[in-house]
Amino acid sequence: MRLLIVGGGSAGHVLPALPIIDAARRQGDEVIFVGTHTGLEESLVRDSGADFFAVSAGKLRRYWDWQNVTDLFRILGGMVQAYFLLGRVKPDVVFSKGGFVSFPVALAAWLRRIPVVAHESDITPGLANRLVIPFAATLCVSFAQTQVSSRRVRVVHTGTPLRAEILQGDPVRGRQLLALESGKPLLLVTGGSLGADALNGVVRGAISVLTERFDVLHVCGPGKLSDVEVPGYIQREYVSHGWGDMLAAADVVVSRAGANALFELIALRKLNLLVPLSARASRGDQLQNAAYAREQGFSAVLEEQDLTAESLVGALDALLNDGEQYRAALANFSRVDAAGAIAAEIARARKH
């Protein structure tokens, strides 16, 4: 089988596709990955064994911006490019992981009568996936609570695929990679693949207090390193090698509430404090993800409008005080073979 996977714009639309690539290649399938010209996609899939192609993609904003006009031409160009690309590589199935690059490819697949299987990470589908759904045969979802208005698409709860690197992380190796020798617990702070300016500033404002109790690994995002130098404070723009080991070594994690990061933390049963993006800075998906995790007892949550150096330290204190309660809830989480379930849906789509 020849499988074409499309996704991009952020690591969250690429990293969950890597286990799908691995599963497909293990069974002898040929895999092609389609992303954007300017995103992280090509670097993230470089070692996966998938052939990479890029098409134009434009962002569809929910507000007026002059770039909406220029992006419209990029979208139209992407549709034409995707149509001819699919005609050339002739995939049996298209798997769409999301991001705005997925829409022109899904539309081109529908025009060429190629079945599309899509995956939605968040509780509610984002705009890109809402555009893809009319062309999809199946929508795989991370959350059982996800509801879709379309009756045409088959909705299947599969969970989110997690990379083997995440599931097989070694905490000893992680501490060695970071050269940690103090014996303090490790606090890992991450704002996602693009970083989080507000979170970065608050962490640095509280770093003297935090390093009294923790070694702190701060993954701050590309171009966002600071000149703050405090013993026990380690900054990284982005971690490509050893992320699973470093995550395994972490005793406590402060993170944004993107669905992929959330599922990693829950699957690894990590004590975690979520700082979701506010509704002003997003469509509210992270607020929904964080609410779900808090209701299930998996995560503590600190809203961004309440985020200060003092509230961050206080929230971490409360999380550690209630640590046994959170660990008990996390222990009840059952990990599923999401990659296997999605692979089964891809095989089903090909037969139909």
What is 2-162+336-351's CATH number, 3.40.50.2000, 3.40.50.970, 2.60.120.460, 3.10.150.10?
3.40.50.2000
Please choose, from the candidates 99, 111, 128, the residue with its C-alpha nearest in 3D space to the C-alpha of residue 5.
Answer: 99
Tens-binned pLDDT, residue by residue, of the chain (352 aa): 999 999 987 788 899 999 999 999 998 999 999 999 877 888 889 889 999 999 987 665 555 455 655 667 788 888 999 999 999 999 999 999 988 899 999 999 999 999 999 999 999 898 889 999 999 999 999 998 898 888 789 999 999 999 999 999 999 999 999 999 888 999 999 987 555 789 999 999 999 999 999 999 999 988 999 999 999 999 999 888 899 999 999 999 999 999 999 999 999 999 999 999 886 766 778 999 999 999 999 999 999 999 999 999 999 999 999 999 999 999 999 888 999 999 999 999 988 7
d(Cα 267, Cα 169) in Å, to the nearest integer? 12
SS3 call for 2? strand
* Count of other CB atoms within 10 angstroms of residue 317: 11
**DSSP structure string for 185-198:** PEEEEE--TT--HH
Buried b (16+ CB within 10 A) or exposed e, 2-27: ebbbbbbbbbbbbbbbbbbbbbbeee
* Res 236: pLDDT: 94
Please choose, from the candidates 319, 303, 169, the residue with its C-alpha nearest in 3D space to the C-alpha of residue 244.
Answer: 169
* Res 194: pLDDT: 55
273 near 256, Cβ under 8 Å? Answer: no
**DSSP structure string for 200-258:** HHHHHHTHHHHHHH-EEEEE--TT-------TTEEEES---SSHHHHHHH-SEEEE---
Q: 185 in the Ramachandran plot: left (φ > 0), alpha (ψ -120 to 50) or beta?
A: beta
Bridge partner residues of 300 (DSSP): 273
What pTM was computed for the model?
0.88
* Res 203: pLDDT: 96
Delimit the domains of the chain by residue range.
2-162+336-351, 165-331
Fold agreement between 2-162+336-351 and 165-331: yes
* Res 62: pLDDT: 53
d(Cα 89, Cα 42) in Å, to the nearest integer? 18
d(Cα 88, Cα 339) in Å, to the nearest integer? 27
* Res 278: pLDDT: 82
* Res 127: pLDDT: 87
CA Rg, the chain, in Å? 20
d(Cα 334, Cα 71) in Å, to the nearest integer? 42
Q: Distance from CA of residue 63 to its chain's centroid?
A: 24
Task: Note the CATH architecture for domain 165-331.
Answer: 3-Layer(aba) Sandwich (3.40)
Burial grade of 220 (CB within 10 A; 0-12, 13-18, 19 or more): buried
d(Cα 194, Cα 196) in Å, to the nearest integer? 7
SS3 call for 1? coil
